[in-house]
Amino acid sequence: MHDVSATQVTDEHKAPTGFIRKYVFSLDHKVIGKQYFGLALVAVFVGMVLSWLLRIHLAYPTWPIPLLGKFSAAGAPGGVMTPEYYLSLLTMHGTLMVFFVLTNAPFAAFGNYFLPIQIGAEDMAFPRFNMMSFWTTFAAFVVMMASFFVADGPPISGWTAYAPLSAVGGDAGPGLAMGQNLWAISIALFCVASLLGALNFIATTLDLRTKGMSLARMPYSTWAWFVTSVIALLAFAVLLPACILLILDRVGGTSFFIPAGLILSDKLQPHSGGSPLLWQHLFWFFGHPEVYIAILPSIGIIATILPVFVRKPLLGPRALIGSMVAIAFLSYMVWGHHMFVSGMNPFSANLFSVPTLIITIPATILTLLLTASIYGGRMRFDTPALFCLGFISVFISGGISGFYLAQPSLDTYLHATYFVVAHFHFVMAVASLFGVFAGTYFWFPKMFGRMMNETLGKVHFWLTFLGVYCVFMPMHYLGLVGNVRRYSAFVDDYLAPLIPVHKFITIAALLTGAAQLIFFWNLIWSRFRGPVASVNPWQATSLEWSTTSPPPFDNFGAHHPVVQNGPNEYGVEAPDGTDYVMQMAPREGV
Amino acid sequence: MGIDIHPAVNSGPPLIPRELSAGLGSPGSGLAKPERSETGVWIGIFAIVMSFAAFTSAMIVRQGVTPDWRHFALPPILYVNTLTLLVSSITLAWANRQLASVGPQLLGARDRARQSYSDGMNWLYGTLALGVLFVVGQVLAWRSLVSQGLFLSTNPSSSFFYVFTGMHGLHVLGGIAGLVYMICKLARTNGTARTTGLRAMSVYWHFMDGLWIYLLVLLMVRT
């Protein structure tokens, strides 16, 4: 019996030696995690540059941007972008950020790297699916980026690709021919990749937990990735059919989303009877859970990291996990709140409003648990801790505006304004990214064996923290006074007096973006020159801190860890005089 | 690869050698309790159910929103295909029974093991043939629709017919690929390969069967 398993061990756990197998088409979840992280870095850089271009144009609509003029002579003649090209870039900013950054970085990248280690497994349940998942995502990214280089550029229909604009084809405007095709294909590929990834995460969590790793002993980040993968499995399984129907409308001549009698460019469109609202229903049935796909992993990361730096256990672990599950469940009942002004039956608006307001209860419980856990702790203000505190701050700031938007009567006024832009950037984008930053500073030593520079990290935190408030706080006021979103300029109408606010936001956005270059530099510099990390530099408890930095190919070096404790043993008097007990530490008397 | 664990400050050594920990549910332990492949297939089934629920709701909404729905009679060959697929599930179940008994009997009754192996493989080949026959039958159903002048874009009812049968057909093709993979694996090892993959594949196959019955009823009622 032992012989059999021993031979299987050598069969399954040979570390690959060739370059391609080791670094490119790797089956190792750690390499795949890093690949996702790298892809997210590229995507976030492109997305950030796009936001710079958009902001410059909003505040200084007549300024030429010479490089942009060279990049797209049609989209930005003489360097000044056309209103259509503004929408194209806006579409790409949203799409890249939501799919390739907010879904990839906190969920796919960190989840891939740390979920198996945190449950004591050697790899994912299906390493081959895992590899396919990354490379399909990569293909989706390449297809999406290709839309920059086709004749009339990326689509102008926004990251939500509302039909019929997204469905009718080139007659409706620039980017809606080839660009929109590429968009739809890319998102369909992304769905397939995410489904494979989610399937892998769920099977891994269910089947590969090591001895003693009961569900209750899983770290919060593992819980968050697990819950998120369940959401992702069901959400992307709906977006994929939606994309298929969209593609059929575009290339197959069907009429799922295109109504009858549509005349575009003086041409009667050969479609009849489709429902644009159907696309919105399908899209937002995915789209709202997607918000939680972006934020839940970050909540889990923060809940894992915060106690390490507060040096006391998190309050109400079960309430915290219960809240995450409740949010996941409720996320499927609220999609209609994105459609209050879409011509939906006003009665259903009320129906969607109630669960939306209910969802604030678990979200508030989460936030209060995180905040209250700080009380009475001995806080260590290392960079990951700062980003934890920053996360709580921006999550609250963004969450509060949600109370208003959840109500149809108020949303009718605010929906198409910058108030919504402020809301979702705070609560979804910035909060999720703060989780990614906290995770990066926290886990970098484990992933690369070197510490990141603390001084640069703190400078990065303060500039980013103040920066995002300067960028997004004023947008609330813009929205309240009626500054519509999705417009490319506000020069000669009632919004002209608001231009100074836009200028302020633009300057803040440029500076905040520039501050991210510190982060990029810190990543590169620390990768090669950072001080060598010990096994457990932060004195944390979860399993990844019991193995080398970085971990060996099979994570625990031919051994299965045995888990004796929960992840929350901080602020205790350990036998060896420290104040924490690792998950693998033997219990007394056992 | 150097295997070098430095225990952190107070983490004792509760690492157990892998050979002794078989059955802990980790890759490589041949006795892993929960079968990953089956778990994976069940999770996949959840996603597929969700996808077809989305298609179904799209169909109901689309039919309700505009009075342009044209009903048409389903091609009769669909009922033959249904029977084909149902029978293929039965043959697959028989194959499973035969092949599952191969491993344990190898030591004692070699002849009987060989007999169940070859029986099981024959049932698998039969299942494969029926699966291919089903896909061919679905293509014939499409051709029958085309000959009536019902194309993908003719009417939402025909659009949804093609979407449903096409998506289901793709998934069946996936099942056929899995079946071919299992047949190759079993043939290479003379039936001694672990049959968990086959069990997982069978769950998927039976699910495709059930899904088709659902789709057939849906199409009968709606189109």
DSSP letter assigned to residue A336: G
The CA distance from A475 to A461, in Å, is: 21
Summarised one tens digit per residue, pLDDT across range A27-77 is 999 999 999 999 999 999 999 999 999 999 999 999 999 899 999 989 999
The CA distance from A272 to A547, in Å, is: 62
> pLDDT at residue A590 above 70?
no
When the pLDDT of each residue in chain A is averaged and rounded to a whole number, the result is: 93
Q: Which residues of chain B carry a pLDDT beneath 50? A: 1-14, 18-32
Summarised one tens digit per residue, pLDDT across range A123-145 is 999 999 999 999 999 999 999 99
Predicted local distance difference test score (pLDDT) of residue A301: 97
Question: Dihedral (C-alpha) A51, A52, A54, A60: value to the nearest 10 degrees?
Answer: 160
Summarised one tens digit per residue, pLDDT across range A319-356 is 999 999 999 999 999 999 999 999 888 889 999 999 99
From B150's Cα to the closest Cα of chain A, the distance in A is 12
CA angle A275, A281, A285 (to 5 degrees): 160
From B40's Cα to the closest Cα of chain A, the distance in A is 6
The CA distance from A236 to A290, in Å, is: 9
Taking a C-beta distance cutoff of 8 angstroms, is the pair B35, B199 a contact? yes
B67: its two tokens: 């009075």
H or E element in which residue B15 lies:
strand B15-17
Residue reference for tokens 């270059």: A517
Q: Judge: B152–A248 Cβ closer than 8 Å, yes or no.
A: yes
Summarised one tens digit per residue, pLDDT across range A154-213 is 999 999 999 999 999 888 888 999 999 999 999 999 999 999 999 999 999 999 999 999
The CA distance from B211 to B89, in Å, is: 13
Task: Find which of B38, B41, B50 to mutate to test the A interface (most A CBs within 10 Å of its CB).
Answer: B50
What residues of A are in contact with residue B40 (Cβ under 8 Å)? 125-126, 199, 203
The CA distance from A452 to A444, in Å, is: 7
From A255's Cα to the closest Cα of chain B, the distance in A is 7
DSSP letter assigned to residue A429: I
Summarised one tens digit per residue, pLDDT across range B18-30 is 444 444 444 443 3
From A119's Cα to the closest Cα of chain B, the distance in A is 10
Q: Judge: A275–B1 Cβ closer than 8 Å, yes or no.
A: no
The CA distance from A302 to A313, in Å, is: 13
Summarised one tens digit per residue, pLDDT across range A501-535 is 999 999 999 999 999 999 999 999 999 999 999 99
Task: Find which of B43, B52, B196 to mutate to test the A interface (most A CBs within 10 Å of its CB).
Answer: B43
The CA distance from A102 to A85, in Å, is: 24
The CA distance from A445 to B125, in Å, is: 53
H helices of A375-453, in order, are: 383-405, 408-414, 418-424, 431-448
Residue B66 exposure: Cα atoms within 13 Å on the Cβ side: 24
Task: Find which of A31, A199, A217 to mutate to test the B interface (most B CBs within 10 Å of its CB).
Answer: A199
The CA distance from A311 to A589, in Å, is: 25
- Work out the pLDDT band at A22, boundaries 50, 70, 90: confident
Give the phi and the psi of residue A561 in degrees, each rounded to 5.
-70, 150
Residue A273 exposure: Cα atoms within 13 Å on the Cβ side: 19
Taking a C-beta distance cutoff of 8 angstroms, is the pair A552, B1 a contact? yes
From A586's Cα to the closest Cα of chain B, the distance in A is 6
Predicted local distance difference test score (pLDDT) of residue B189: 79
Predicted local distance difference test score (pLDDT) of residue A575: 82
- Work out the pLDDT band at A588, boundaries 50, 70, 90: low
Predicted local distance difference test score (pLDDT) of residue B15: 53
Summarised one tens digit per residue, pLDDT across range A395-441 is 999 999 999 999 999 999 999 999 999 999 999 999 999 999 999 99
Predicted local distance difference test score (pLDDT) of residue B107: 52
Those residues whose C-beta lies under 8 Å from the C-beta of residue A475, and which sit 6 or more positions away, are A418, A419, A421, A422, A425, A505
Predicted local distance difference test score (pLDDT) of residue B115: 82
Give percent above pLDDT 90 in chain A.
Answer: 86
Q: Note whether B55 contacts A: Cβ–Cβ < 8 A.
A: yes
Residue A445: Cβ-neighbour burial (10 angstroms; 0-12, 13-18, 19+): buried
B51 vs A15, A237, A539: nearest CB:
A237
Summarised one tens digit per residue, pLDDT across range B123-162 is 999 999 999 999 999 999 999 999 999 999 999 999 999 9
- pTM for the full predicted model: 0.93
Taking a C-beta distance cutoff of 8 angstroms, is the pair A166, A246 a contact? yes
The CA distance from A231 to B25, in Å, is: 25
What residues of A are in contact with residue B11 (Cβ under 8 Å)? 546, 582, 584-585
Q: Judge: A241–B51 Cβ closer than 8 Å, yes or no.
A: yes
Q: What number of residues does chain B have?
A: 223
Q: Where are the beta strands (DSSP E) in A222-286?
A: 263-264, 267-268
What single string gives the DSSP state of each residue in A492-559? SSTTGGGHHHHHHHHHHHHHHHHHHHHHHHHHHHHHHHSPBP-S-TT---SGGGGS-SSPPTTSSSSE
B58 vs A209, A236, A278: nearest CB:
A278
Those residues whose C-beta lies under 8 Å from the C-beta of residue B132, and which sit 6 or more positions away, are B176
Predicted local distance difference test score (pLDDT) of residue A343: 87
The CA distance from B79 to B84, in Å, is: 9
Identity at A270, one-letter amino acid code: P
Q: Is the dihedral of CA A95, A96, A97, A98 positive or negative?
A: positive
**CA-closest candidate to residue A464, choices A434, A438, A494, A493:** A434
Helix A29-59 and helix A110-118, axial crossing angle in degrees, nearest 10: 150
- Work out the pLDDT band at A573, boundaries 50, 70, 90: confident
